[in-house]
Amino acid sequence: MLALGALTLSGVAQPAIGHTFTSDKTDFQLITVAEGLEHPWSLAFLPNGSQLVTEREGRLRLIEDGELQKPPIKGLPELVVSGQGGLLDIILHPDFETNRTLFLSYAHEVSGEGMTTRVARAALDGHTLSDVEVIFEAMPRGNTSRHFAGRMAFDRDGNLYVAVGDRGEMDRAQDTGDDAGGVHRLTTNGDPAPGNPFIDDSTGNDTVYTYGNRNIQGMTTHPATGEIWSHEHGPGGGDEINIIRAGNNYGWPKVTYGIDYSGAIISDKTTMEGITDPLHYWDPSIAPSGMAFYTGDRFPEWKGDLFVGALKMRKLVRLSIENETVKEEEDLLEDLGERIRDVRMGPDGVLWLLTDSANGRVYRLVPLE
Protein backbone atom coordinates (compact mmCIF):
# COMPACT_ATOMS: atom_id res chain seq x y z
CA MET A 1 0.00 0.00 0.00
CA LEU A 2 1.02 3.64 -0.41
CA ALA A 3 1.76 5.16 2.97
CA LEU A 4 2.78 8.67 1.94
CA GLY A 5 2.18 11.02 -0.94
CA ALA A 6 -0.38 13.31 -2.50
CA LEU A 7 -2.91 12.37 -5.16
CA THR A 8 -3.22 14.02 -8.51
CA LEU A 9 -6.57 15.31 -9.77
CA SER A 10 -7.10 11.94 -11.46
CA GLY A 11 -6.81 10.20 -8.09
CA VAL A 12 -3.77 8.11 -9.05
CA ALA A 13 -0.84 8.23 -6.66
CA GLN A 14 2.34 9.55 -8.26
CA PRO A 15 5.37 8.04 -6.53
CA ALA A 16 8.58 9.94 -5.99
CA ILE A 17 11.56 9.81 -3.68
CA GLY A 18 10.27 9.73 -0.12
CA HIS A 19 7.02 7.92 -0.82
CA THR A 20 6.89 4.66 1.09
CA PHE A 21 5.29 1.38 0.12
CA THR A 22 4.86 -1.47 2.55
CA SER A 23 4.90 -5.24 2.14
CA ASP A 24 4.68 -8.14 4.55
CA LYS A 25 8.47 -8.41 4.60
CA THR A 26 9.89 -4.92 4.15
CA ASP A 27 9.22 -1.30 3.23
CA PHE A 28 10.44 0.20 -0.03
CA GLN A 29 10.36 3.23 -2.32
CA LEU A 30 9.80 3.72 -6.03
CA ILE A 31 12.17 6.04 -7.86
CA THR A 32 11.29 7.29 -11.34
CA VAL A 33 14.21 6.73 -13.72
CA ALA A 34 12.48 7.85 -16.92
CA GLU A 35 9.03 8.80 -18.18
CA GLY A 36 7.39 9.82 -21.43
CA LEU A 37 7.90 6.41 -23.04
CA GLU A 38 5.16 5.21 -25.39
CA HIS A 39 4.04 1.78 -24.20
CA PRO A 40 7.47 0.52 -23.12
CA TRP A 41 7.68 -3.26 -23.40
CA SER A 42 11.13 -4.52 -22.36
CA LEU A 43 14.31 -3.44 -20.60
CA ALA A 44 17.95 -4.53 -20.91
CA PHE A 45 21.01 -3.44 -18.90
CA LEU A 46 24.20 -2.49 -20.70
CA PRO A 47 27.58 -3.25 -19.10
CA ASN A 48 28.39 0.47 -18.78
CA GLY A 49 25.37 1.08 -16.53
CA SER A 50 23.03 2.40 -19.24
CA GLN A 51 19.70 0.80 -20.17
CA LEU A 52 17.91 0.01 -23.42
CA VAL A 53 14.10 0.18 -23.50
CA THR A 54 11.82 -0.98 -26.30
CA GLU A 55 8.66 0.96 -27.08
CA ARG A 56 5.89 -1.10 -28.65
CA GLU A 57 5.32 1.76 -31.08
CA GLY A 58 8.56 0.83 -32.85
CA ARG A 59 11.37 2.66 -31.08
CA LEU A 60 14.43 1.52 -29.14
CA ARG A 61 15.47 4.08 -26.53
CA LEU A 62 18.64 4.59 -24.52
CA ILE A 63 18.78 5.73 -20.88
CA GLU A 64 22.26 7.09 -20.25
CA ASP A 65 23.48 8.53 -16.93
CA GLY A 66 19.89 8.41 -15.68
CA GLU A 67 18.56 10.48 -18.60
CA LEU A 68 16.29 9.25 -21.39
CA GLN A 69 18.01 10.17 -24.65
CA LYS A 70 15.61 11.79 -27.11
CA PRO A 71 16.84 10.37 -30.41
CA PRO A 72 15.89 6.67 -30.67
CA ILE A 73 18.49 4.07 -31.58
CA LYS A 74 18.78 3.91 -35.37
CA GLY A 75 18.76 0.88 -37.64
CA LEU A 76 15.85 -1.20 -36.33
CA PRO A 77 14.51 -4.00 -38.54
CA GLU A 78 11.30 -3.45 -40.48
CA LEU A 79 8.31 -4.09 -38.21
CA VAL A 80 4.59 -3.47 -37.94
CA VAL A 81 2.70 -1.79 -35.10
CA SER A 82 -0.79 -3.26 -34.96
CA GLY A 83 -2.98 -4.25 -32.04
CA GLN A 84 -0.75 -6.08 -29.54
CA GLY A 85 2.10 -6.18 -32.04
CA GLY A 86 5.07 -3.88 -32.46
CA LEU A 87 8.59 -3.82 -31.07
CA LEU A 88 8.56 -6.30 -28.19
CA ASP A 89 11.42 -7.90 -26.26
CA ILE A 90 15.14 -7.14 -26.14
CA ILE A 91 17.85 -9.41 -24.76
CA LEU A 92 21.63 -9.13 -24.83
CA HIS A 93 23.89 -11.92 -26.09
CA PRO A 94 25.63 -13.68 -23.15
CA ASP A 95 28.95 -12.37 -24.58
CA PHE A 96 27.63 -8.87 -25.28
CA GLU A 97 30.66 -7.18 -23.73
CA THR A 98 32.89 -8.63 -26.43
CA ASN A 99 30.55 -8.94 -29.45
CA ARG A 100 28.02 -6.12 -28.83
CA THR A 101 25.25 -8.43 -30.08
CA LEU A 102 21.60 -8.19 -29.03
CA PHE A 103 18.31 -9.74 -30.08
CA LEU A 104 14.93 -8.10 -30.72
CA SER A 105 11.50 -9.69 -31.09
CA TYR A 106 8.78 -7.85 -32.97
CA ALA A 107 5.70 -8.15 -35.16
CA HIS A 108 6.20 -8.24 -38.92
CA GLU A 109 3.75 -8.09 -41.81
CA VAL A 110 3.81 -9.16 -45.43
CA SER A 111 0.99 -7.68 -47.48
CA GLY A 112 -1.55 -10.31 -48.39
CA GLU A 113 0.07 -12.93 -46.16
CA GLY A 114 -0.55 -11.55 -42.68
CA MET A 115 1.54 -10.93 -39.57
CA THR A 116 3.87 -12.98 -37.39
CA THR A 117 6.53 -12.84 -34.68
CA ARG A 118 10.12 -12.36 -35.81
CA VAL A 119 13.49 -12.26 -34.03
CA ALA A 120 16.43 -10.26 -35.38
CA ARG A 121 20.05 -10.25 -34.27
CA ALA A 122 22.03 -7.02 -34.45
CA ALA A 123 25.17 -5.32 -33.17
CA LEU A 124 24.93 -2.14 -31.10
CA ASP A 125 27.39 0.45 -32.36
CA GLY A 126 26.95 3.64 -30.34
CA HIS A 127 23.39 4.79 -31.02
CA THR A 128 22.95 2.63 -34.13
CA LEU A 129 22.22 -1.03 -34.84
CA SER A 130 24.32 -2.68 -37.53
CA ASP A 131 24.53 -6.14 -39.13
CA VAL A 132 20.78 -6.62 -38.59
CA GLU A 133 19.75 -10.17 -39.54
CA VAL A 134 16.41 -11.96 -39.15
CA ILE A 135 17.18 -15.30 -37.46
CA PHE A 136 13.66 -16.57 -36.72
CA GLU A 137 10.22 -16.14 -38.21
CA ALA A 138 7.17 -17.99 -36.87
CA MET A 139 5.21 -19.63 -39.66
CA PRO A 140 2.58 -19.68 -40.97
CA ARG A 141 1.52 -16.06 -40.67
CA GLY A 142 -1.90 -15.13 -39.35
CA ASN A 143 -4.55 -12.51 -40.00
CA THR A 144 -5.02 -11.32 -36.42
CA SER A 145 -3.17 -8.64 -34.43
CA ARG A 146 -3.24 -10.62 -31.15
CA HIS A 147 -1.00 -12.92 -29.14
CA PHE A 148 2.44 -12.35 -30.62
CA ALA A 149 4.08 -13.28 -27.27
CA GLY A 150 7.75 -12.48 -28.04
CA ARG A 151 9.41 -12.94 -24.64
CA MET A 152 12.95 -14.35 -24.79
CA ALA A 153 15.48 -15.87 -22.39
CA PHE A 154 18.90 -17.54 -22.52
CA ASP A 155 19.74 -20.78 -20.76
CA ARG A 156 23.16 -21.57 -19.29
CA ASP A 157 24.23 -23.31 -22.50
CA GLY A 158 23.67 -20.14 -24.51
CA ASN A 159 20.48 -21.32 -26.21
CA LEU A 160 17.86 -18.68 -26.97
CA TYR A 161 14.23 -19.40 -26.02
CA VAL A 162 11.57 -17.50 -27.99
CA ALA A 163 7.86 -17.54 -27.08
CA VAL A 164 5.28 -17.32 -29.87
CA GLY A 165 1.59 -16.84 -29.06
CA ASP A 166 -1.31 -18.75 -30.57
CA ARG A 167 -2.15 -15.57 -32.57
CA GLY A 168 -5.72 -15.76 -31.27
CA GLU A 169 -6.29 -19.01 -33.18
CA MET A 170 -6.29 -21.42 -30.26
CA ASP A 171 -6.10 -24.77 -32.04
CA ARG A 172 -2.75 -23.82 -33.58
CA ALA A 173 -1.15 -24.28 -30.15
CA GLN A 174 -1.66 -28.06 -30.32
CA ASP A 175 0.02 -28.45 -33.72
CA THR A 176 3.79 -28.95 -33.36
CA GLY A 177 4.09 -28.45 -37.11
CA ASP A 178 2.83 -24.87 -36.59
CA ASP A 179 5.17 -22.37 -34.91
CA ALA A 180 2.32 -20.58 -33.09
CA GLY A 181 1.44 -21.36 -29.48
CA GLY A 182 4.75 -22.56 -28.11
CA VAL A 183 8.36 -21.93 -27.17
CA HIS A 184 11.20 -22.28 -29.68
CA ARG A 185 14.81 -23.04 -28.71
CA LEU A 186 17.47 -21.66 -31.05
CA THR A 187 21.19 -21.18 -31.32
CA THR A 188 22.32 -17.56 -31.55
CA ASN A 189 22.45 -18.02 -35.33
CA GLY A 190 18.78 -19.03 -35.38
CA ASP A 191 19.37 -22.72 -36.03
CA PRO A 192 17.41 -25.34 -34.06
CA ALA A 193 19.27 -25.95 -30.81
CA PRO A 194 20.87 -29.42 -30.55
CA GLY A 195 18.65 -31.85 -28.67
CA ASN A 196 15.36 -30.13 -29.47
CA PRO A 197 12.54 -32.66 -28.99
CA PHE A 198 11.17 -32.69 -32.56
CA ILE A 199 14.39 -32.60 -34.59
CA ASP A 200 14.01 -36.26 -35.53
CA ASP A 201 10.20 -36.22 -35.54
CA SER A 202 8.50 -35.37 -38.82
CA THR A 203 5.33 -34.25 -36.98
CA GLY A 204 7.02 -31.25 -35.34
CA ASN A 205 9.13 -28.30 -36.42
CA ASP A 206 12.81 -28.50 -35.48
CA THR A 207 12.85 -25.34 -33.38
CA VAL A 208 9.76 -26.25 -31.30
CA TYR A 209 10.64 -26.90 -27.65
CA THR A 210 7.18 -26.78 -26.02
CA TYR A 211 3.61 -26.40 -27.25
CA GLY A 212 0.11 -25.79 -25.90
CA ASN A 213 1.12 -22.27 -24.75
CA ARG A 214 -1.45 -19.52 -25.28
CA ASN A 215 0.42 -16.21 -24.98
CA ILE A 216 3.63 -16.06 -22.92
CA GLN A 217 4.39 -12.57 -21.62
CA GLY A 218 6.99 -13.41 -18.98
CA MET A 219 10.12 -15.54 -19.17
CA THR A 220 13.16 -15.81 -16.91
CA THR A 221 15.96 -18.18 -15.90
CA HIS A 222 15.80 -19.79 -12.47
CA PRO A 223 18.92 -18.65 -10.56
CA ALA A 224 19.57 -22.05 -8.94
CA THR A 225 18.41 -24.67 -11.46
CA GLY A 226 19.02 -22.76 -14.69
CA GLU A 227 15.63 -23.85 -16.02
CA ILE A 228 13.45 -21.44 -17.98
CA TRP A 229 10.28 -20.34 -16.18
CA SER A 230 7.40 -18.60 -17.93
CA HIS A 231 3.92 -17.29 -17.40
CA GLU A 232 1.15 -16.89 -19.92
CA HIS A 233 -2.18 -15.19 -20.31
CA GLY A 234 -5.25 -17.33 -19.96
CA PRO A 235 -8.55 -16.25 -21.52
CA GLY A 236 -11.14 -15.12 -18.93
CA GLY A 237 -9.07 -16.54 -16.07
CA GLY A 238 -6.48 -19.29 -16.10
CA ASP A 239 -3.22 -17.31 -16.27
CA GLU A 240 -0.41 -19.80 -15.65
CA ILE A 241 3.15 -20.12 -14.37
CA ASN A 242 5.06 -22.99 -15.99
CA ILE A 243 8.56 -24.45 -16.10
CA ILE A 244 9.57 -24.85 -19.72
CA ARG A 245 10.69 -28.44 -20.31
CA ALA A 246 11.52 -30.20 -23.57
CA GLY A 247 8.56 -31.58 -25.49
CA ASN A 248 5.97 -30.75 -22.85
CA ASN A 249 2.39 -29.92 -23.81
CA TYR A 250 0.98 -27.21 -21.54
CA GLY A 251 -2.57 -27.90 -22.59
CA TRP A 252 -4.02 -24.89 -24.36
CA PRO A 253 -6.83 -25.14 -25.39
CA LYS A 254 -7.49 -28.77 -24.38
CA VAL A 255 -7.36 -27.82 -20.71
CA THR A 256 -7.72 -24.43 -19.03
CA TYR A 257 -8.84 -22.81 -15.81
CA GLY A 258 -10.41 -19.99 -17.83
CA ILE A 259 -13.43 -19.42 -20.04
CA ASP A 260 -13.88 -17.49 -23.26
CA TYR A 261 -14.36 -13.73 -22.95
CA SER A 262 -17.90 -14.28 -24.22
CA GLY A 263 -18.58 -16.60 -21.29
CA ALA A 264 -18.49 -19.71 -23.46
CA ILE A 265 -16.77 -22.83 -22.15
CA ILE A 266 -13.47 -23.58 -23.92
CA SER A 267 -12.82 -26.86 -22.12
CA ASP A 268 -14.47 -28.57 -19.18
CA LYS A 269 -11.09 -30.00 -18.14
CA THR A 270 -8.36 -28.43 -16.03
CA THR A 271 -6.04 -31.44 -16.22
CA MET A 272 -5.52 -34.37 -18.58
CA GLU A 273 -3.11 -37.24 -19.09
CA GLY A 274 -0.15 -36.11 -21.17
CA ILE A 275 -0.64 -32.45 -20.20
CA THR A 276 1.77 -30.57 -17.93
CA ASP A 277 -0.17 -28.90 -15.12
CA PRO A 278 0.77 -25.31 -14.26
CA LEU A 279 2.91 -24.68 -11.22
CA HIS A 280 0.48 -21.88 -10.29
CA TYR A 281 -2.55 -20.22 -11.86
CA TRP A 282 -4.74 -17.15 -11.37
CA ASP A 283 -8.51 -17.09 -11.69
CA PRO A 284 -9.73 -14.42 -12.25
CA SER A 285 -7.00 -13.32 -14.61
CA ILE A 286 -4.40 -10.74 -13.54
CA ALA A 287 -2.98 -10.46 -17.11
CA PRO A 288 0.64 -11.18 -16.11
CA SER A 289 3.55 -9.52 -17.88
CA GLY A 290 7.22 -9.42 -16.99
CA MET A 291 8.90 -11.85 -14.61
CA ALA A 292 12.06 -11.94 -12.50
CA PHE A 293 13.55 -13.78 -9.56
CA TYR A 294 15.01 -11.51 -6.89
CA THR A 295 18.68 -12.45 -6.51
CA GLY A 296 20.18 -9.33 -4.93
CA ASP A 297 21.27 -8.49 -1.41
CA ARG A 298 19.46 -5.20 -0.85
CA PHE A 299 16.20 -6.99 0.01
CA PRO A 300 17.40 -10.09 1.90
CA GLU A 301 13.79 -10.82 2.91
CA TRP A 302 12.92 -11.36 -0.77
CA LYS A 303 15.91 -13.48 -1.75
CA GLY A 304 14.77 -16.15 -4.21
CA ASP A 305 11.20 -14.82 -4.52
CA LEU A 306 9.55 -14.55 -7.94
CA PHE A 307 8.04 -11.21 -9.01
CA VAL A 308 5.36 -10.92 -11.71
CA GLY A 309 3.82 -7.75 -13.13
CA ALA A 310 0.09 -7.49 -13.83
CA LEU A 311 -1.55 -5.45 -16.57
CA LYS A 312 -5.25 -5.93 -15.89
CA MET A 313 -5.00 -5.92 -12.09
CA ARG A 314 -2.34 -3.17 -12.05
CA LYS A 315 -0.04 -4.59 -9.41
CA LEU A 316 3.21 -6.41 -8.73
CA VAL A 317 2.88 -9.95 -7.37
CA ARG A 318 5.50 -11.51 -5.08
CA LEU A 319 5.58 -15.30 -4.90
CA SER A 320 7.60 -17.30 -2.38
CA ILE A 321 8.33 -20.71 -3.91
CA GLU A 322 9.72 -23.90 -2.38
CA ASN A 323 10.22 -27.12 -4.32
CA GLU A 324 8.16 -25.79 -7.24
CA THR A 325 5.23 -24.99 -4.94
CA VAL A 326 3.94 -21.48 -4.20
CA LYS A 327 4.02 -21.08 -0.42
CA GLU A 328 3.12 -17.41 -0.22
CA GLU A 329 1.59 -14.82 -2.55
CA GLU A 330 1.52 -11.09 -1.90
CA ASP A 331 0.14 -8.22 -3.98
CA LEU A 332 2.25 -5.05 -4.08
CA LEU A 333 1.83 -1.59 -5.64
CA GLU A 334 -1.95 -1.85 -5.95
CA ASP A 335 -2.23 1.84 -5.01
CA LEU A 336 0.11 2.80 -7.83
CA GLY A 337 -2.69 2.23 -10.36
CA GLU A 338 -0.38 1.42 -13.27
CA ARG A 339 -0.17 -1.51 -15.67
CA ILE A 340 3.12 -3.30 -14.99
CA ARG A 341 4.54 -4.48 -18.32
CA ASP A 342 8.04 -5.68 -17.41
CA VAL A 343 9.93 -6.71 -14.27
CA ARG A 344 13.72 -7.04 -14.30
CA MET A 345 16.38 -7.88 -11.74
CA GLY A 346 18.91 -5.06 -12.04
CA PRO A 347 22.69 -5.32 -11.72
CA ASP A 348 22.39 -2.74 -8.92
CA GLY A 349 20.62 -5.28 -6.70
CA VAL A 350 17.08 -3.89 -7.02
CA LEU A 351 14.02 -4.56 -9.16
CA TRP A 352 13.24 -2.42 -12.20
CA LEU A 353 9.71 -1.99 -13.57
CA LEU A 354 8.14 -0.71 -16.79
CA THR A 355 4.59 0.64 -16.90
CA ASP A 356 2.40 0.22 -19.97
CA SER A 357 0.78 3.48 -21.02
CA ALA A 358 1.14 6.30 -23.53
CA ASN A 359 3.27 7.97 -20.83
CA GLY A 360 5.10 4.87 -19.66
CA ARG A 361 7.70 4.99 -16.91
CA VAL A 362 10.81 3.18 -15.80
CA TYR A 363 10.97 2.69 -12.02
CA ARG A 364 13.55 1.37 -9.60
CA LEU A 365 12.18 -0.35 -6.51
CA VAL A 366 14.66 0.43 -3.72
CA PRO A 367 14.90 -0.22 0.03
CA LEU A 368 13.61 2.42 2.40
CA GLU A 369 16.65 4.31 3.61
Same domain, residue pair 107 and 238? yes
Catalytic residue list contains 231: no
> Which residue ranges of the chain lie beneath pLDDT 50?
1-18
Among 229, 257, 287, residue at a domain's last position: 287
**Sign of CA pseudo-dihedral 208, 212, 218, 222:** negative
Same domain, residue pair 52 and 168? yes
Among the options 93, 147, 184, 233, which is catalytic? 147
For 21, the 3-state DSSP assignment is: strand
In terms of Cα–Cα distance, which of 90, 232, 62, 209 is closest to 147? Answer: 232
- Residue 361 CB neighbour total at 10 angstroms: 21
CA distances (Å), 33 to each of 63, 68, 231, in order? 9, 8, 26
pTM equals: 0.94
Rg (CA), the chain: 20
Give CA 112 to chain center in angstroms: 29
In terms of Cα–Cα distance, which of 137, 103, 106 is closest to 123? Answer: 103
Instruction: Specify the pLDDT at position 136.
Output: 98
Among 265, 287, 309, residue at a domain's last position: 287
Same domain, residue pair 8 and 92? no
- State the Cα–Cα distance between residues 320 and 24, nearest whole angstrom: 12
Among 287, 320, 336, residue at a domain's last position: 287
How many domains are contained in the chain?
2
Instruction: Specify the pLDDT at position 200.
Output: 94
The predicted-structure confidence for 42-73, as pLDDT tens digits, reads as follows 999 999 999 999 999 999 999 999 999 999 99
- State the Cα–Cα distance between residues 181 and 213, nearest whole angstrom: 5
Same domain, residue pair 9 and 117? no
CATH number at residue 276: 2.120.10.30
Give the list of residues 6+ apart from residue 222 with CB closer than 8 angstroms, or none: 228, 229, 243, 293
156 CB-contact burial (10 Å; exposed 0-12 / middle 13-18 / buried 19+): exposed
Same domain, residue pair 245 and 340? no
Same domain, residue pair 240 and 310? no
* Parent domain of 350: 1-34+288-369
